[in-house]
Structures are given as structure tokens and as C-alpha cells.
């Protein structure tokens, strides 16, 4: 029986999706689609001009987000969404650039670019969906995989300490740092809205299930069980010191808005310095169109 | 009259169970029906309890369900 | 159309190849560069960093070549003409993103001021050993165009040409300089802006609802839209169809990759640039490029003085290789002599194009200096026997 129970009303998310590409490739119980709902809600609530919003992603399951959203979007190379986004933003400062990528893409191969963009305070909004693994390639160890987990490349258990991403990006210079899980849909949408309005390098980590690989290998249940774990074990601590928000395999998950500070973004600093040094000779090119 | 109304895009559902679990007023349950991919989509079991909050829509990773508010008697459309 | 005068430093200059290359980029309309310091290329972006704030544009020194080579592509999609410069080790790091530019059809320029390799090699000394890498360095099937200047003047002129070719074919174009040409100081004449021909971006004028980012017709080059113009398009490095959507099937692969190849090869004869000298009665032909061509000129002159009938062909475009011309000449001369600052790279292309109809003699040099004219002359004499 396949009665379609949609009754002529339209899903508020639908205008933001490339419906001709549905269904997407994500697994049952994967949280990435949930983050996309939050993203769409945030776009609606913050009344962003969709024409100047660009999504840049890297490679991985989360990287596929770029291909499913009906916006100017770029599916770039593994780990390099942030530098691509940097060039895009510098060439056209009017664009609002969102980097939407996964934990492996952003913190392993992309780690260098992550810390430099944060240091420079490039005006980018980074949504890091952290499913604690390299999901697309089959569930290998990522820098975020909690110790003692079983993965495809640590079949006897991970013995490396994992990155505490909020701590890393705060230390590197990010002006907005928050973490939520895919259970915290309303808070996540709100955090995204705040990040859209924030000038400078904003980083939102979203803990998300990978039921097919990470959760399955570690006998942590399916997507729903993982969501229930998030509900039960998350503790909201706004302003918590990021050094204290590291993750373990089954322990507490500290969520909240950890950092919200102000410092001039890269382009403001560039303009200020060049104006000071060059005065009248500095030619500001707000729209660098090719001649 | 219910404050909200659920719409389900049956073919997109992958039975993850998020909507059923996290609906605050327990409007939904997984049905015994199948869609063409073999998944059990949810169905509405307590329609009068729906507030139109659209948490189901926000949780759904497959964009397969959403709720809209129903204009109440006396309210402007 | 002609160049934007803001970027054109009209006049007679006494500058080196690196500096001339920067001026060429500015004259061509480049307003964005992302770079990373590497000898002997760094002066190109150092000059750009000093010049572009007064022209109207942006330079950013990125944290590595991987970042530089993709930041420039972000800038292209944001509307700018953009480039980067590097040398061997950085060129190797940039290979993935050269492939990304080819796959997404991002018009841009990569300048490689070649130095001794492999690995760290000879940072301050010349070589021409990245020639095959320029063509084949990234994975998969794709085409590039590579230009070889042999003077600071050509560093200026050919950089403009590189940008024009990049826009015309929507591909990454390689400027294959070498350390000697990059660091030699000579007269460079920069004409007035209205005498400099510049190819504009192939911008679409279709409505968003009728635009498909990778739809093409006769010339096999799609029209481009930039981010922020309302087209809501998708670009991916995955094999894709005309809509820009991933389509990972053998059929889509065949269609896409062949078009990426054919859009350049169909115009190969038009793209090919080379300079010929004294071919009318030549028994032996010296084929060279870059700084080696200047030494070769001396060797050819000496040979002619001694009564040997020697001609010279200088490759200005190394890729696509001028198959047709070399094949024609193979029927007419006894031998080709190919001096290069490497252990034999472009000589393989010469041999291939000659298809056995003439003898080919390599004059290799491991790099670190240039040939002496006698080195080349010796082989000319041998080839002439």
C-alpha cells in the first residue's frame, strides 16, 4: 500500500531542496538530513537573501549536502572547502558563505585550513557535522573518533586521543563556537541563525548518528537509540570552558554556545591596514568582477 | 479541532522512528503498511493532539513528514 | 575587448621575468592571487601583493599550496580572474586542484617557475623537468594548455595569452617558466591598455530557469554563472551531467571526459604557437623551448657559420603538442635535435609525432644550469652525419 498522504501542502524545507535529486543517499537514521532541516529553518528565520548565500562542502557524507540544497553550491575537494570558500568570499564580499562539511574532512585533511581560517577570522559559517567517523568510505577512524571505539582501521579499538573541536577552533581564534546534537533541532536552527548574523569565523559542531558504521560497530544501537542517548546524556552548558567539552564513547555530551566574542574579521583588518598604509592610493574593489 | 495537521510523503520515509519518538503529544506511530522500498512509514494515530509544532518535520532526515498549523475558528487566515 | 587600464603599467621597463609575469596578469585583468612562497617564483606574488591594492583586487598568502590552488578557484567562481605561482614541490601539491579546475571547467592560470628537482632539488637553479607533469600531473583524463616564455617580455605577453586561453576554453592554463627566465632582467615593453586584447569571461545571459551550468553547443565550452547572480547552480568534482548534478555512470563519464578533451583538441591547431627559423633548407632541426631556446639559437648560428644546414623550431605552446607541424617536418628533415633542461621529456613527444620518419636526438641536461652552445652543437653535428 503506497498511499501518498501528502495533501497538497508544501514542506517548508522543500523550496530549499533540489527535489529532482530526492531521495538522497543518506542512510536510515543518519542525522545529516536533520541538520539540513535546521539549516532551512535558520534561513527562513533569519530572512537571508538566498541569492547571495553560497554553500561550500568537502568530501564525505556531509559533503553531499551541497548537492541537495537549492542554492549556489560547490562540492569541492577533500578538506579544502574552507580555502575555496575563502577565495569566494574575498572575490565577492557580499556573499554569505557557509561551509557545510564533516568531521574528517574539516579536522583531518582540512585541519590546517580550519585553524588558519579561524586565526584569520575569515567571515565564514562552518557547520561541522560530527558523526565521529569517516562514514562515506566505510567507517574509518577520524580525529574525532572517541578512544576505545572500534572502527574499520582500528579493528581492535582506537587508542589515540580525539580532538575536542570546540577547544581547537576557539584556541585558533573562532568568534562563535557552539555544539549541539541532531536531537537539539530548535537550538541548532537558532545557532545557525546566530552564526549567519555573526561577522567572523563561526563554527557549529553537530553531533550526529552514523548508525550504519560507527554505532553498529560499537553496538550502540540504531539512529533512534543514538538520538535517545543524545537526549539523555546531553548537558546544556552555555559558556562552558571548551577545554572541558571533550567527548567519550558513551559519556556526557556538553552542548551549548561556548564562545560568542567579537573581533574584527579578516576583510575589516585588511581594509584597515591598507587604508592606513596607502591612504588615498588604496583602491577598494567591493565587487571584483573580471574585466 | 486540532491545531495542526501532519503531512507524510510516504515514499521518502525510511522508518528511522525519530518523528514517532519525539512528537511531544504522541500523534504518530509506525504503521504496518509498506512503501515501495519496504519501509513502514508513520501514520497519524492521535490527530486531535497535533499542535502543528513541526518537530516531526525538523527531525525527519528524509524530508518525509511535516506539520502545518491549522487556522482556528475566529483567527485570521 | 581591451585591457582595463588600471592594471596596465604602460611603458618601457627593465624587470625580470617574475615581475613581468605579474604585470602580465594585472594587464590581463587578474584581480585575485593566492600564493605560497617558493623560490624562484615568489617575486611574482610579492609584486602582486604590492601592486593589487592600488589597482583594485586582493592577494592572500595561504597556508600551503593546497589552499592557494583552490582559493584561487573560489575567487574565479566569485567573479574574479585569478592565478597562483609556484615551483616544482608546490606544483606537485597543486595537482589535485589542477584536476578540479579541469573537471569543473574553472578558467585560471597556474605559473610554474621550474627549478631543479626532484623533491627539494635545486631551489635557486633552473630546470625544465616539470613539462610532462604539467600535462599529466593530475589523475584522470583531462587537457591543459602550457606556454613556455623564453624572455621577460614573453613572461608579460604570454601571461596575458594564458588568461585569454583559460577564459576561452574554461581550463587551467600552465605558464611554464624556468628559473633563468624568471630571474633574468631585460627590457619589457608594456603597451597602452587599448592595444592589449583581453578575452572576457564566457558569462551566461540565459534566465536562471533556462540555464544549465554544463550545457554546451558547437564549441563544447559551457557558459558560466558566478555565485551570487541568482542562478542557484551546483558545481562538483564528481562526474556530472549538464545540470551539474553528479551522474556516476559510464555513459555520463564518457560524454563528459571526451568533451573536456575535445574542446581543446578540436582547436589544437589554432592554439599551437611556435616560432620557426631557417627551415627552408634544413637537414637538421633543433626543437627547443624556454631558456634552452636561447642557447639553441647560438648553437644554430654557429652551425650555420660552419656550413651546416640547420633550422630551429621554438615551442611557445608545449601543450597541446603541435603534432601536425612536427609530423609535417618529420618528412622533410634528416633529424630532430631536442635540447632540454631535463633528461628527456618533450623529446618523447617529438619522437611520437615523428613516428619514426626521422631520427630524434635528445640533448639532456640534469638541470642546475643551462647548456653550453657546444653541447647542442656537438649533437647537431652528430645528427647531421
What CATH number does the domain containing C91 carry?
Answer: 3.40.50.970
For range B9-37, the mean pLDDT: 97
Q: Are B16 and A224 inside 8 Å of each other by CB?
A: yes
Residue C108: pLDDT over 50:
yes
pLDDT bin (cut points 50, 70, 90) of residue A9 is confident
With pLDDT > 70 as the criterion, what percentage of chain C qualifies? 100
pLDDT of residue C62: 98
Percent of chain B with pLDDT over 70: 95
* Chain B, nearest residue to A222 by Cα: B16
Looking at the predicted structure, is the pLDDT value of residue A3 above 50? no
- Whether C265 is covered by a domain: the verdict is no
Q: Is A116 close to C238, i.e. CB distance below 8 A?
A: no
**C308 and C181, same structural domain?**
no
Minimal Cα–Cα distance from A275 to chain B, Å? 46
Mean pLDDT of A141-147: 98
| Domains with residue ranges and CATH for chain A | 15-280 (3.40.50.970)
Residue A291 has pLDDT above 90, yes or no: no
Please state, in angstroms and as integers, the Cα–Cα distance from residue C59 to each residue in A278, C23, C56, following that order. 15, 14, 10
- Chain A residues in contact with C235 (beta carbon < 8 A): 73-75
Kindly indicate the confidence band of residue A285, based on its pLDDT and cuts at 50, 70 and 90.
confident
Q: Which band of pLDDT confidence, cut at 50, 70 and 90, is reported for residue A2? A: very low
In this prediction the pTM is 0.97
Q: Which of C195, C219, C242 is the last residue of a domain?
A: C195
Residue ranges in chain C assigned as alpha helix (H)? 17-28, 42-55, 65-77, 88-93, 95-104, 131-136, 152-169, 179-183, 250-265, 268-271, 292-305, 323-330, 346-354, 373-384
- For residue range B47-61, what is the model confidence (pLDDT) as tens digits? 999 999 999 999 999
- Both C181 and C304 in one domain: the answer is no
- Using DSSP's 3-state secondary structure scheme, residue A269 falls into helix
Instruction: Give the nearest chain B residue to A3 (CA atoms).
Output: B10
Among the three residues C169, C195, C221, which one is the final residue of a domain in this structure? C195
Instruction: Tell me if C241 is assigned to some domain.
Output: no
Mean pLDDT of A134-139: 98
Segment (H or E) for A266: helix A266-278
Check whether A290 has a pLDDT greater than 60: no
Percent of chain A scored above 90 by pLDDT? Answer: 93
Query: pLDDT at position A10, please?
Result: 82
Which residues of A fall within a CB distance of 8 Å from C226? Answer: 92
- The 10s digit of each residue's pLDDT in C68-95 is 999 999 999 999 999 999 999 999 999 9
- Interval C154-165: pLDDT, tens: 999 999 999 999
pLDDT attached to residue B76 = 56
Say whether C82 and A91 touch across the interface (CB within 8 A).
yes
- Residue C25 reports pLDDT greater than 90: yes
Closest CA to A210 of A222, A198, A199, A225: A222
SS3 state of residue A183? coil
- C298 or A12, which is more confident: C298
How many domains does chain C fold into?
2
> Which chain A residue lies closest to C49 (C-alpha atoms)?
A274
Q: What string of H, E and C letters represents the secondary structure of A133-156?
A: CECCCCCECCCCCCCCCCCCCCCC
Cis amide linkage into residue C324, ω under 30° from 0: no
Mean pLDDT for chain A?
95
Q: What does R_g of chain B's alpha carbons equal in angstroms?
A: 13
pLDDT digits 0-9 by tens, A224-238:
999 999 999 999 999
How far is residue C195's CA from residue C35's CA, in Å, rounded to a whole number?
Answer: 29
Burial-class residue C16 by CB neighbours within 10 Å (0-12, 13-18, 19+): buried
Angle among Cα A62, A107, A162 to the nearest 5 degrees reads 110
Coil vs helix vs strand at C4: coil
Question: Do the chains contact at A92 and C68, CB–CB below 8 Å?
Answer: no
CA distance C178 to A251: 58
Please give the pLDDT value at position B71.
Answer: 86
Q: Does A15 touch chain B (CB under 8 A)?
A: no
Question: Do both C136 and C16 map to the same domain?
Answer: yes
The rounded distance, in Å, linking the Cα atoms of C222 and A148 is 50
pLDDT of residue A286: 60
Cβ-defined contact of B43 to A189 (cutoff 8 Å):
no
- The answer to whether residue C227 is domain-embedded is no
Q: Is the ipTM of this complex over 0.90?
A: yes
In the A/B pair of chains, how many CB contacts fall below 8 A? 101
The CATH code of the domain at B4-69 is 3.30.70.20
Q: Do C56 and A288 touch (CB under 8 A)?
A: yes
| Angstrom distance (rounded) from CA B37 to CA C163 | 51
Domain extents in chain B:
4-69
Three cell numbers at C129?
A: 623537468
Provide the pLDDT confidence category of residue A1 given band limits of 50, 70 and 90.
Answer: very low
Over the stretch C228-248, which tens digit does the pLDDT of each residue have?
999 999 999 999 999 999 999
User: How close C237 comes to chain A (CA, Å)?
Assistant: 6
Question: What is residue C379's predicted lDDT score, i.e. its pLDDT?
Answer: 98
Q: Does A186 touch chain B (CB under 8 A)?
A: yes
| pLDDT recorded at residue B46 | 96
Chains B and C share 3 or more Cβ pairs within 8 Å? no
Residue C13 lies in a domain: yes
Q: Is residue C367 part of a domain?
A: yes
C-alpha cell at C80: 574574479
Domain of residue C90 covers 5-195
Q: What is the mean pLDDT of chain B?
A: 94
Determine the average pLDDT of the residues in C23-47.
98
Please, which pLDDT band fits residue B2 given cuts at 50, 70 and 90? Answer: confident
Q: Which residues on chain A are in Cβ contact (under 8 Å) with B16?
A: 28-29, 222-224
Query: Judging by beta carbons within 10 Å of its beta carbon (0-12, 13-18, 19+), is residue C176 exposed, middle or buried?
Result: buried
Same domain, C155 and C43: yes
The confidence score (pLDDT) of residue A208 equals: 98
Amino acid at each position: 500500500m503506497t498511499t501518498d498522504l501528502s495533501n497538497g501542502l508544501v514542506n517548508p524545507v522543500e523550496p530549499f531542496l533540489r527535489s529532482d535529486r530526492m531521495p538522497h543517499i543518506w542512510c536510515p537514521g543518519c542525522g545529516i538530513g536533520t541538520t539540513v532541516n535546521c539549516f532551512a529553518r535558520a534561513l527562513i528565520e533569519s530572512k537571508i537573501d538566498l541569492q547571495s548565500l553560497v554553500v561550500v562542502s568537502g568530501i564525505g557524507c556531509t559533503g553531499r549536502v551541497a548537492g541537495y540544497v537549492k542554492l549556489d553550491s560547490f562540492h569541492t575537494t577533500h578538506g579544502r572547502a574552507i580555502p575555496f570558500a575563502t577565495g569566494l568570499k574575498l572575490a565577492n564580499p557580499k556573499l554569505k558563505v557557509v561551509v557545510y562539511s564533516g568531521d574528517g574532512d574539516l579536522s583531518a585533511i582540512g585541519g590546517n585550513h580550519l585553524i588558519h581560517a579561524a586565526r584569520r577570522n575569515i567571515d565564514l559559517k562552518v557547520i561541522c557535522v560530527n558523526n565521529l567517523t569517516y562514514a562515506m568510505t566505510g567507517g574509518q577512524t577520524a580525529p574525532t573518533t572517541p578512544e576505545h571505539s572500534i572502527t574499520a582501521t582500528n579493528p581492535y579499538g582506537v587508542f589515540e586521543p580525539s580532538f575536542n573541536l570546540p577547544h581547537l577552533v576557539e584556541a585558533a581564534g573562532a568568534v562563535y563556537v557552539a555544539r549541539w546534537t541532531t536531537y537539539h533541532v530548535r537550538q541548532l536552527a537558532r545557532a545557525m541563525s546566530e552564526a549567519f548574523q555573526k561577522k567572523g569565523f563561526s563554527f557549529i559542531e553537530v553531533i550526529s548518528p552514523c548508525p550504519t558504521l560507527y554505532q553498529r560497530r560499537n553496538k550502540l544501537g540504531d539512529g533512534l537509540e543514538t538520538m535517545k542517548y543524545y537526549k539523555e546524556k546531553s548537558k546544556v552548558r552555555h559558556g562552558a570552558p571548551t577545554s572541558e567539552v571533550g567527548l567519550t564513547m558513551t559519556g556526557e555530551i556538553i552542548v551549548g554556545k561556548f564562545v560568542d566574542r567579537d573581533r574584527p574579521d579578516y576583510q575589516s583588518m585588511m581594509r584597515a591596514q591598507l587604508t592606513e598604509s596607502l591612504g588615498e592610493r588604496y583602491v577598494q574593489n567591493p565587487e571584483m568582477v573580471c574585466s | 479541532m486540532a491545531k495542526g495537521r501532519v503531512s507524510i510523503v510516504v515514499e521518502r520515509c525510511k522508518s528511522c522512528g525519530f518523528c514517532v519518538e519525539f512528537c511531544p503529544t504522541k500523534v504518530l506511530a509506525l504503521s504496518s503498511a509498506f512503501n515501495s522500498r519496504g519501509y513502514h512509514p508513520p501514520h497519524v494515530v492521535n490527530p486531535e493532539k497535533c499542535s502543528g509544532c513541526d518537530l516531526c518535520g525538523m527531525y525527519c532526515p528524509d524530508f518525509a513528514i511535516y506539520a502545518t498549523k491549522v487556522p482556528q475558528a475566529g483567527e485570521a487566515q | 575587448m581591451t585591457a582595463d587600464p588600471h592594471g596596465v603599467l604602460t611603458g618601457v621597463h627593465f624587470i625580470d621575468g617574475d615581475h613581468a609575469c605579474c604585470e602580465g596578469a594585472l594587464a590581463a585583468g587578474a584581480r585575485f592571487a593566492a600564493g605560497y612562497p617558493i623560490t624562484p617564483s615568489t617575486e611574482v606574488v610579492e609584486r602582486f601583493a604590492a601592486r593589487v591594492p592600488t589597482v583594485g583586487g586582493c592577494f592572500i598568502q595561504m597556508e600551503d599550496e593546497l589552499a592557494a590552488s583552490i582559493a584561487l578557484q573560489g575567487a574565479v567562481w566569485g567573479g574574479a580572474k585569478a592565478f597562483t605561482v609556484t615551483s616544482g614541490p608546490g606544483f606537485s601539491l597543486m595537482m589535485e586542484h589542477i584536476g578540479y579546475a579541469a573537471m569543473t571547467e574553472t578558467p585560471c592560470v597556474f605559473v610554474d617557475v621550474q627549478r631543479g628537482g626532484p623533491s627539494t632539488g635545486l631551489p635557486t637553479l633552473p630546470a625544465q623537468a616539470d613539462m610532462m607533469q604539467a600535462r599529466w600531473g593530475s589523475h584522470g583524463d583531462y587537457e591543459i594548455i602550457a606556454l613556455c616564455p623564453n624572455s621577460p617580455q614573453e613572461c608579460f605577453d604570454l601571461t596575458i595569452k594564458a588568461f585569454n586561453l583559460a577564459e576561452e576554453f574554461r581550463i587551467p592554463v600552465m605558464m611554464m617558466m624556468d628559473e633563468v627566465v624568471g630571474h633574468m632582467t631585460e627590457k619589457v615593453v608594456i603597451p597602452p591598455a587599448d592595444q592589449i586584447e583581453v578575452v572576457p569571461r564566457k558569462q551566461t545571459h540565459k534566465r536562471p530557469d533556462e540555464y544549465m551550468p554544463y550545457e554546451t553547443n558547437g564549441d563544447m565550452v559551457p557558459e558560466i554563472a558566478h555565485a551570487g547572480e541568482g542562478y542557484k547552480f551546483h558545481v562538483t568534482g564528481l562526474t556530472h551531467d549538464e545540470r551539474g548534478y553528479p551522474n556516476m555512470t559510464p555513459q555520463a563519464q564518457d560524454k563528459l571526459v571526451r568533451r573536456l578533451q575535445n574542446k581543446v583538441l578540436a582547436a589544437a591547431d589554432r592554439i599551437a604557437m611556435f616560432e620557426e627559423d631557417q627551415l627552408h633548407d634544413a637537414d637538421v632541426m633543433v626543437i627547443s623551448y624556454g631558456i634552452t631556446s636561447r642557447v639553441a639559437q647560438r648553437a644554430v648560428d654557429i652551425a650555420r657559420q660552419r656550413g651546416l644546414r640547420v633550422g630551429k623550431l621554438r615551442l611557445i605552446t608545449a601543450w597541446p603538442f603541435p603534432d601536425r607541424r612536427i609530423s609535417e617536418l618529420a618528412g622533410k628533415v634528416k633529424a630532430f635535435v631536442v635540447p632540454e633542461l631535463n633528461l628527456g621529456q618533450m623529446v618523447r613527444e617529438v619522437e611520437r609525432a615523428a613516428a619514426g620518419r626521422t631520427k630524434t636526438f635528445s640533448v639532456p641536461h640534469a638541470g642546475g644550469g643551462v647548456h653550453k652552445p657546444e653541447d647542442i652543437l656537438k649533437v647537431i653535428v652528430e645528427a647531421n652525419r
